[in-house]
């Protein structure tokens, strides 16, 4: 069903979600600000781990050999250029500094947070308009099912065998696992010039379902 490169793109889609536009607004509306820490930990770690692994496998397939250290460095450098990851790091560093916000600035941020959910819904609609069913319907449905159904099921099963984890964190992890396929699948496919039609169709079906 899949070539080697398509398998890498598909694997990325089956485990990497649309956290920013779908996951975070849903979590904030259901669980409140308490979901911020576990959610942002998942987002920051997923990008570094899965994009690095996908890049390593793709480059090894193309060259027959690969410098793990150099590829990891390049991938992490690209991840730091991502505005989401960069803003998370800046926020963590600022929080560790112990400086607070001036009251007017804090009030402004508080008002901005109220617009997160409606703005995210608008952006999801705009994002959907950019995706098309470009063929590869059957494999796309398969990959979307892995992400939307199997991924959260696996997370739930893993947590059922682990003791001592805060149930609240378990809920956050399972909810994040159930978020549909993220746009990074298509970005990675475009970057590697492979499986673009599969990525676009998978994202469309995953979000629509």
Report the alpha-carbon distance of residue 125 to residue 34 in Å, rounded.
27
Q: What is the mean pLDDT of residues 162-185?
A: 88
pLDDT tens digits along 49-62: 787 777 777 766 66
Global pTM value: 0.74
Report the alpha-carbon distance of residue 140 to residue 200 in Å, rounded.
9
Decide if 46 contacts 16 (C-beta within 8 A): yes
Neighbouring residues of 132: CB distance < 8 A, sequence distance ≥ 6? 200, 201, 204
Q: How far is CA 91 from CA 17, 46, 116, 119, 123, in A?
A: 22, 18, 18, 21, 23
In three-state secondary structure terms, 181 is strand
- Per-domain residue ranges of the chain: 4-208
Chain mean pLDDT for the chain: 77
In this structure, the chain runs to a length of 209
């Amino acid at each position: 069903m899949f070539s080697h490169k398509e398998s890498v793109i598909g694997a990325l889609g089956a485990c990497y979600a649309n956290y920013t536009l779908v996951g975070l607004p849903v979590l904030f509306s259901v669980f409140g600000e308490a979901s911020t820490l576990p959610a942002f930990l998942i987002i920051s770690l997923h990008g570094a781990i899965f994009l690095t692994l996908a890049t390593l496998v793709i480059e090894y397939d193309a060259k027959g050999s690969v410098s793990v250290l150099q590829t990891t460095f390049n991938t992490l450098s690209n991840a730091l250029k991502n505005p989401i990851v960069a803003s998370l790091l800046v926020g963590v560093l600022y929080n560790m500094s112990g400086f607070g916000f001036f009251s007017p600035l804090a009030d402004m941020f508080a008002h901005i947070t109220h617009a997160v959910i409606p703005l995210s819904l608008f952006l999801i609609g705009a994002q959907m308009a950019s995706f098309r069913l470009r063929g590869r319907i059957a494999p796309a449905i398969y990959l979307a099912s892995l992400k939307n159904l199997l991924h959260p099921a696996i997370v739930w099963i893993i947590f059922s065998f682990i003791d001592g984890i805060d149930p609240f964190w378990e809920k956050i992890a399972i909810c994040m696992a159930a978020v549909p396929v993220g746009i990074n699948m298509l970005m990675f496919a475009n970057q590697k010039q492979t499986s673009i039609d599969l990525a676009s169709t998978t994202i469309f079906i995953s979000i629509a379902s």
